[in-house]
Amino acid sequence: MTNPSDILQQVFGFTSFRPPQDQIIETLVAGGDAMVLMPTGGGKSLCYQIPALVRPGCGIVISPLIALMQDQVNAMRLLGVKAAFLNSTLAADEAQEIEQQLRNGVLDLLYIAPERLTQARTLQMLREAELALFAIDEAHCVSQWGHDFRADYLQLSLLHELFPQVPRIALTATADTRTRNEIISRLQLEQAQQFLAGFDRPNIRYRIALKHNGKQQLQKFLKSEHPNDAGIVYCLSRKKTEDIAQWLNQQGFKAYPYHAGLSAELRARHQSEFLREEGVIIVATIAFGMGIDKPNVRFVAHLDLPKTIESYYQETGRAGRDGEPATAWMVYGLQDVIKLRQMMEGSEGSEEHKRAEQQRLNAMLGLCEITSCRRQALLDYFDEHLEQPCGNCDTCLDPPQTWDGTEAARKALSVAFRTEQRFGVNHLIEVLRGADSDKIFQFGHQHLPVYGIGKDLDNNQWRSVFRQLVARGYMSVDLERYGALRLEEKCRPLLRNEETIALRKDIKPKAAKQQTKVHLAPDVDIALWEALRECRRGYAEELGVPPYVVFHDSTLQEMCLRLPQNMEEFGELSGVGERKLERYGPAFISVITEHLAA
């Protein structure tokens, strides 16, 4: 087959492309290069899989995650595509056999880890083979400003230098303008056509709240809204991932930790459980996530503040790939900011890099503290404009209350100034509230004009004032002085009575209504739905693949609604290509027929 539309229908079982998939495929088939930015779940894989099947030779896919290559290759093989992978998990004789298959022109797709691709042996093998294209997945890994930088990606410019006639496609779901420019420069894609399909994921509900007791808040969220759903919980440290996973298991959930400190074998086992089983929760550091193809992740929760909006967007994007409702839930506090800034100060990056990271953290804080639509702010960060508030984030559904915090803000700024910008938030609150602690008398702060002028607010209210002033750039945290708060230039007009400030009222959020796992159409028979899921599970276990590799939930739901009773009708379902029709059709038709006869 040489027609992309025929391949889409007969191999993948879909009737039409989502724009701009068709244009990207057309570009690659014609031999051109492409730079593709498309949201998670937008169908990036088809953009290189179909051209690899149309063009003569094998498509080489550079993927940064070894653990996921097996699933991607299994999914392709189930569709009748001749796919394989080369990475460090293979024995020498297995690798040699795959290399020979490539030379002999047997393969349609070959997935290779970047560190292996740049080896002399691999490059020689590629010279001896006919190549259809190079696909560089998770291309943001090439950016040293990005959140997932990988040094091996920096060498991928050699593809253009050694194989100038082979078209290349770089793909990512997350990249601001600066990162996109760096991808283009480092991969020598200046002549490539750029395709920006937008960032918006309207099915994800964004919710951000203040951290009071993270564990209790998470437990309430999970039990009231996602008691049996698959999801991911992100934490900042390895120790915390272990603690939270253990605690979730004690609460009756099925949870596994995932971080770089675990053995590769254990990480792979936990990831496999998450992909193949229903209702599993992974508790992870940022080591987990790139390329996760599980479509029915119903929530992503953050127990700590991510470093950047890019990280937040990338991580939350793992929810709801199937287009069904999903939740991006997060709790954060000022302590998260201090911890992240300490990590930045301790990094080995240049001063320029640290400044850039600081700006990104400030943007992340700003997203947390805004009182307007979060989706509009999130998209604005990526230079995409949403005309109207989204109606599907916490600030749209339950608009935050604000209060005139001008006077309180001036008091907070004044106490930091009067104490010589040498103290953290706890001591500043004690001064404002007129406490009689040893530390106050040690430094003589009971004699300051600001001593006791803040008794009208309690400790939590003052914490909120200081947190919001830091988030909005009026104050910053001095890590060399153990978290001392200092004034920023931006605060001058506020101190001079030249401007006012409205602050958010911190109110414990009401529990949101539980979202169902899958929004089934009213006409779906639940008994048939469960019978079809059981049939799918049997095949998945037999083949050792996640259930969604057999059929997505959307295809099962279509079976329930259309009730196909012969192979021709079954072949008309979305997601049913020729290979799946032949392999699974009779069994699923039998389930439907038995159900109708019961």
Main-chain phi, psi angles of 585, to 5 degrees = -50, -55
- Give 408's Cβ-side CA count (13 Å radius): 24
For domain 204-397, which CATH number applies: 3.30.1360.120, 3.40.50.300, 3.30.470.20, 3.40.190.10?
3.40.50.300
- Token pair 């600081």: residue: 358
**How far from each other are the two terminal CA atoms of the chain, in whole angstroms?**
42
- Round to whole Å and give the CA distance between 423 and 486: 9
Angstrom distances, CA of residue 129 to CA of 1, 32, 57, 101, 158? 21, 20, 8, 10, 17
Neighbours of 178 (CB within 10 A): 12
Spatial strand order in the sheet of 58-62: 83-86, 109-112, 58-62, 131-136, 168-172, 34-37, 193-196
The answer to whether the CB of 580 falls within 8 A of the CB of 9 is no
- Round to whole Å and give the CA distance between 274 and 293: 11
The predicted structure's pLDDT at residue 213: 87
Q: Which helix (H) or strand (E) holds 47?
A: helix 46-54
> Which residues, at least 6 apart from 6, have a Cβ–Cβ distance to it below 8 Å?
none
Angstrom distances, CA of residue 257 to CA of 244, 264, 286, 287? 8, 13, 12, 11
The predicted structure's pLDDT at residue 221: 96
Nearest to 127 by CA among 85, 158, 170: 158
Q: Which of helix, strand or coil describes residue 465?
A: helix
Q: What share of the chain is helix, strand, coil (3-state, %, to 5)?
A: 50, 15, 40
Spatial strand order in the sheet of 326-332: 204-210, 326-332, 299-302, 231-234, 280-284, 254-258
Q: Which of helix, strand or coil describes residue 111?
A: strand
The amino acid present at 587, given as its one-letter code, is A
Nearest to 591 by CA among 522, 537, 528, 538: 528
Task: Please spell the DSSP secondary structure of 510-538, one letter per residue.
Answer: PPPPPPPSS---TT--HHHHHHHHHHHHH
Structure tokens at 268: 């792979």
The predicted structure's pLDDT at residue 1: 67
Beta partners for residue 34, in sequence order: 169, 193
Nearest to 573 by CA among 551, 593, 546, 590: 551
| HEC assignment per residue over 362-420 | HHHHHHHHCCCCHHHHHHHHCCCCCCCCCCCEHHHHCCCCEEECHHHHHHHHHHHHHCC
Q: Which helix (H) or strand (E) holds 110?
A: strand 109-112
Residues of the chain with CATH 1.10.10.10: 402-504
Nearest to 536 by CA among 561, 520, 556: 556
Nearest to 330 by CA among 299, 357, 358, 359: 299
For domain 4-196, which CATH number applies: 3.40.50.300, 3.40.50.970, 2.60.40.2470, 3.10.180.10?
3.40.50.300
CATH annotation of 526-597: 1.10.150.80
- Token pair 């009779």: residue: 586
What tens-digit pLDDT sequence spans the chain (598 residues)? 689 999 999 999 988 998 899 999 999 999 999 999 988 777 889 999 999 999 999 999 998 877 678 778 988 999 999 999 998 888 999 999 999 999 999 999 999 988 888 889 999 999 999 999 999 998 888 875 454 566 788 888 899 999 999 999 999 887 778 888 889 999 999 999 999 888 889 999 999 998 888 999 999 999 999 999 999 999 988 999 999 999 999 999 999 999 888 888 898 889 888 988 889 999 998 766 555 678 899 999 999 999 888 889 989 988 998 889 999 999 998 788 777 877 777 777 677 777 777 778 888 888 988 888 999 989 988 888 899 999 999 999 988 888 999 999 999 999 999 999 999 899 999 999 999 989 999 999 999 999 999 999 999 899 889 988 887 778 887 766 667 898 999 999 999 999 999 898 886 655 444 444 556 777 788 889 889 989 998 898 888 888 888 998 889 999 999 999 999 999 999 989 999 999 999 999 999 988 888 6
- Round to whole Å and give the CA distance between 36 and 51: 14
CATH annotation of 402-504: 1.10.10.10
Residues of the chain with CATH 3.40.50.300: 4-196, 204-397
Nearest to 175 by CA among 204, 148, 135: 148
- Round to whole Å and give the CA distance between 524 and 520: 6
- Round to whole Å and give the CA distance between 539 and 326: 27
Q: Which helix (H) or strand (E) holds 133?
A: strand 131-136
